[in-house]
Amino acid sequence: MHLFSQCFYVPKCQKDHTALHVMIQNISEHLRMHQQVTCYHDSSEHQGSILLNRLYGSSTVFHSLFWPSCMLSGGTLIILMVKLTQYLSILCEQIGKTPK
């Protein structure tokens, strides 16, 4: 585990030693299965939060941004159609009232 210590962070003050032991066992098993380890970290911060596995892929990010955007666009389109219908209704009423 010393070879890959730059990719893992284990808090020094953790009260639940059994949970800490399980976490270390999981990391150890992961290192035995994979010869090459990719770690994801934010280089702008202190290296206190490192991920062993990426939680969300690009597909998840796409769907979490795409569908709310579609809903917002659809809602805006419905509101615009209602306003256009109201405007055309008022316009039609004004044309009908003009004397011929």
- 51 and 77 part of one domain: no
pLDDT in tens, 13-66: 656 777 777 877 877 777 777 666 666 555 666 555 555 566 778 888 898 999
Same domain, 29 and 43: yes
| pTM reported for the whole predicted model | 0.43
Same domain, 51 and 62: no
Residue 9 and residue 42 in contact, taking contact as beta carbons nearer than 8 Å: no
Number of domains in the chain: 2
Structural domain boundaries, residue 26: 1-55
Residue 24, pLDDT score: 75
Q: What is the CA radius of gyration of the chain?
A: 29
Q: Which is it for strands 40-41 and 50-51: parallel, antiparallel or unpaired?
A: antiparallel
Note the pLDDT tens digit of each residue in 83-97: 999 999 999 998 888
Burial tier of 51 (Cβ tally within 10 Å: 0-12, 13-18, 19+)? middle
For residues 47 and 78, state if they share a domain.
no
The string of DSSP codes covering 68-88 is HHHHHHHHHHHHHHHHHHHHH
Structure tokens at 63: 């769907």
